[in-house]
Structure 1
Amino acid sequence: MLELLFYTVPILMIGGLGFAAFLLVRRARRIGRTWSQGLTAEGRCLRMFTTTSGGGGDASVRTSVHHVYEFTTQDGRTVRFEEEGGPATVLEGDFVTVRYLPEQPQRATALPPSHGRLAVGTGCGLVFLGVAIAFCIGFIVVAHMVFTETDSLMP
């Protein structure tokens, strides 16, 4: 029974980490495509706010800037969306350039195109997830060696 736990938990973690890698790549492709092929519109910042996380014990506090934007698509629809990580210099009432895909205007972005930064961020995330997956695989291999050695020692 204990043997099953040492195989199941890392396999579930590998599945979750693999799914996180999939989501990371999908997000990067969507943003890159929006920057390259998307339409542009003038948008307006309706609201700016920050959120904080961390700070427990010795952990550092992480502050994220969020913006709520609104724009009108070329076909006349008004779209409102929230975006994290935008520049702190954009304040309520400011006008910004919004990029969006016609089939998904709700997934618009007001972030200025930065393909290099997107690639580096995605690459670093994938390296981190790859190391975590490698650790899980190593754990499974070591657990397998321990359990097979223990089984061979039993009378």
Structure 2
Amino acid sequence: MEAFFYVVPSLMIGIAVFAAVTVVRRARDVSDAWNSGLTAEARCLRTYTTTSGGGDSAVHTSMHHVYEFATREGRVVRFDETGGRGTIVEGDIVTVRYAADRPERATANAPAPGRLAAGTGCALVFFAVLVLFCLGFMAVVHMMFEVAGDALP
């Protein structure tokens, strides 16, 4: 029974750390694409939405765009991006930015480094608070089990 109070928070910490690494990696990829100076004209091949939640929880809908473009070397790249402008529809031509060494991690979002930093920072603060809460919970549970163990005959 005691292990349950350590395993669940440890799993939550692992998930939070994984999510934080993912957020930082995507922010770095977008920043690299913006800073590379390489642009290309891309065609929106498809738009679709994904929905999560429902029932007793709020419904969250995310918009996705699938783009295709050719790099300067002539390589055709197709990528899927979440959270683009809702006004882009299939067939539209947009400017994408990409890093030469990783064109598949391109972005059609206009450069907004302040917004990217703020979003990444808020996400990291959330994950840090979650980790600290889990560690505090485990410390309190540990102390409670020690006190209960000392009280037993």
1:66-77 matches, within 5 Å, as 66-77=64-75
Aligned counterparts of 2:55 and 2:115: Cα–Cα separation in 1? 30
Q: Does 1:100 align with 2:110?
A: no
Letter in 2 for 1:23: T
Aligned counterparts of 1:72 and 1:29: Cα–Cα separation in 2? 22
Aligned counterparts of 2:32 and 2:105: Cα–Cα separation in 1? 11
Aligned counterparts of 1:64 and 1:10: Cα–Cα separation in 2? 29
For each residue in 1:19-47, what CA deviation from the matched residue of structure 2 results, as whole angstroms up to 9, or x when unmatched?
21111111111111111125111111111
Aligned counterparts of 2:14 and 2:107: Cα–Cα separation in 1? 29
Partner in structure 2 of residue 5 of structure 1: 4
Which residue of the other structure, out of 116, 127, 131, is the alignment partner of 2:125?
127
SS in structure 2 opposite 1:3?
A: coil
Asked if the contact 2:32/2:98 (under 8 Å) is kept, the reply is no
Partner in structure 1 of residue 76 of structure 2: 78
SS in structure 2 opposite 1:89?
A: coil
Partner in structure 2 of residue 27 of structure 1: 26
Aligned counterparts of 2:17 and 2:90: Cα–Cα separation in 1? 38
* Number of equivalenced pairs: 153
Structure 2: state its 5+ residue gaps. none
Misfit runs of 4+, over 6 Å: none
CA root-mean-square deviation = 1.3
TM-score, normalization: structure 2? 0.93
Aligned counterparts of 1:118 and 1:33: Cα–Cα separation in 2? 12
Partner in structure 2 of residue 48 of structure 1: 47
Asked if the contact 2:42/2:67 (under 8 Å) is kept, the reply is yes
Asked if the contact 1:38/1:102 (under 8 Å) is kept, the reply is no
Higher mean C-alpha deviation, range 114-123 or range 10-19: 10-19
SS in structure 1 opposite 2:2?
A: helix
Letter in 1 for 2:125: V
Partner in structure 2 of residue 17 of structure 1: 16
Which residue of the other structure, out of 111, 114, 137, is the alignment partner of 1:113?
111
